[in-house]
Amino acid sequence: METLEGAELCFPELLNTSCRKKVRPHSEATLLYILLSCISLLTVALNVLVIISISHFRQLHTPTNLLLLSLAVSDLLCGLLLPVEFLFAEACWLFGDLVCTLSFFLVFSVISVSVGNMVLISVDRYVAICYPLRYPTKMTHRRVQICVCLCWLISAFCSSLTINDLLIQPGRYNSCVGECVVVLNYIAGTVDLVLSFIIPFTIIIVLYMRVFVVAVSQARAMRSQTVAVTHQRSGTVKKSEMKAARTLGVVISVFVMCFCPYYCVTLAGENSLVSASSLFFFIFLFYLSSCLNPVIYAFFYPWFRKAIKLIVTLQILQPGSHEANIL
């Protein structure tokens, strides 16, 4: 009898303190492993292509693409962390309390960085569409680089504050050996909700509503027969920016749809027990958006399809390939 009970424990030698294993049907476990592995590998591969494309080809070294590069790096980390999320969902955590704490820190940081990147992309499109003449002076490479660095640093800082108790005492919320959870109290959960959801998504929605209004008014003006000749050139410049705004609008819309369910669950209760056993599906949706972003680029950005062709055929290894014309 003790042998059978011990076989159900994560650590059979710790009969009184060990967590019990979560037993899944073999077919269900196999299907889940295959699904997560495919999504993780696809997310990593596609975002590596985005990172190589923007980093290698000089024509793509623009402020907007620098933001896409930052987003691709965060999406790449999401693809690498997806298997870790699955480990959270299992009853047995075999890597110790310190690794558990660091894993939660990385997950919270990557989520915050992704949200921050979406805000920066919205600001970039807002300035490009609403203030096209000021865009080259407002959104310089230097300023965008500073904003991206601040985004990553602030995200790491906010994540450390969110799980401060767990950083001070790893494993303090575990009820048994082999568990990996973190409890967000009311204050920490509220701060995280405001900083990671309410404020950023309000900014995103407001800015893109403004972009939409300007886009509609410009489209009407361009169809009008009374448009001044002096405005035709500025209208042509805006057309490419408008196309980028539509593409990035799709990216942001997909991100919002995949991200909102997680915080809808957070809004449902005062104290949130953040463990993948209860929130795995909603966090999985968020990670899915990281895989969909490069797919959206492939559909809407011809330069990305050209870059993939050059990368896959190894033409980027040729001298001077970074000067190739792919726009």
What is the residue type of 63?
Answer: P
Residue 224 confidence (pLDDT): 63
What is the C-alpha separation between 149 and 266, in angstroms, rounded?
A: 28
Among positive and negative, which fits the CA dihedral 30, 109, 103, 20? negative
Residue 156 confidence (pLDDT): 92
Per-residue pLDDT of 134-169, as tens digits, reads: 888 988 999 999 999 999 999 999 888 888 888 888
Residue 5 confidence (pLDDT): 45
**What percent of the chain has a predicted confidence (pLDDT) above 70?**
80
- Please, which pLDDT band fits residue 27 given cuts at 50, 70 and 90? confident
Residue 60, pLDDT above cutoff 80: yes
User: Mean per-residue pLDDT for 40-62?
Assistant: 91
pTM recorded for the entire structure: 0.83
Residue 272, pLDDT above cutoff 60: no
Residue 327 confidence (pLDDT): 74
Per-residue pLDDT of 80-122, as tens digits, reads: 887 776 666 665 777 888 888 888 899 889 888 988 998 999 8
> CB within 8 A of 301, min separation 6: which ones?
247
Residue 319, pLDDT above cutoff 50: yes
Per-residue pLDDT of 172-224, as tens digits, reads: 878 888 788 877 777 777 787 888 888 888 898 888 888 888 777 766 666 66
Residue 324, pLDDT above cutoff 60: yes
For 150, the token pair is 């601040």
Provide the residue ranges of all domains of the chain, joining segments of one domain with +.
33-220+235-321
Using a 10 angstrom Cβ sphere, with 0-12 exposed, 13-18 middle and 19 or more buried, the burial of residue 15 is exposed
Please name the residue ranges forming H helices in the chain. 2-7, 26-56, 63-89, 96-130, 135-138, 141-162, 164-168, 186-193, 199-223, 232-267, 276-300, 302-312
Residue 48, pLDDT above cutoff 80: yes
What DSSP string runs through 269-292? -SSEEE-HHHHHHHHHHHHHHHHH
- Residue whose C-alpha is closest to residue 174's, from 95, 85, 270, 84: 95
The neighbour count for residue 174, using CB atoms within 10 Å, is: 17
Residue 69 confidence (pLDDT): 94
Between the CA of residue 174 and those of 19, 100, 101, 222, 247, what are the distances in Å? 10, 11, 11, 62, 44
Residue 297 confidence (pLDDT): 82
Q: What architecture is the 33-220+235-321 domain classified under in CATH? A: Up-down Bundle (1.20)
- Residue whose C-alpha is closest to residue 289's, from 268, 309, 263, 259: 259
Q: What is the DSSP letter of 177?
A: B
Per-residue pLDDT of 219-264, as tens digits, reads: 666 666 544 444 444 444 456 666 666 777 788 888 878 777 767 6
What is the C-alpha separation between 50 and 185, in angstroms, rounded?
A: 38
User: Mean per-residue pLDDT for 32-39?
Assistant: 82
Per-residue pLDDT of 275-307, as tens digits, reads: 444 556 766 777 788 888 888 887 788 888 889
Residue 52 confidence (pLDDT): 93
The neighbour count for residue 23, using CB atoms within 10 Å, is: 9
Cβ 262 vs Cβ 286: under 8 Å: yes
Residue 276 confidence (pLDDT): 43
Using a 10 angstrom Cβ sphere, with 0-12 exposed, 13-18 middle and 19 or more buried, the burial of residue 175 is exposed
Residue 186 confidence (pLDDT): 75
Mean pLDDT of the chain: 79
For 118, the token pair is 């979406």
- Long-range interactions of 20-28: CB distance < 8 A, separation 24+: 20/91, 21/91, 21/92, 22/90, 22/91, 22/92, 22/277
Residue 280 confidence (pLDDT): 64
Residue 265 confidence (pLDDT): 64
Collapsed DSSP state (helix, strand, coil) of residue 19: coil
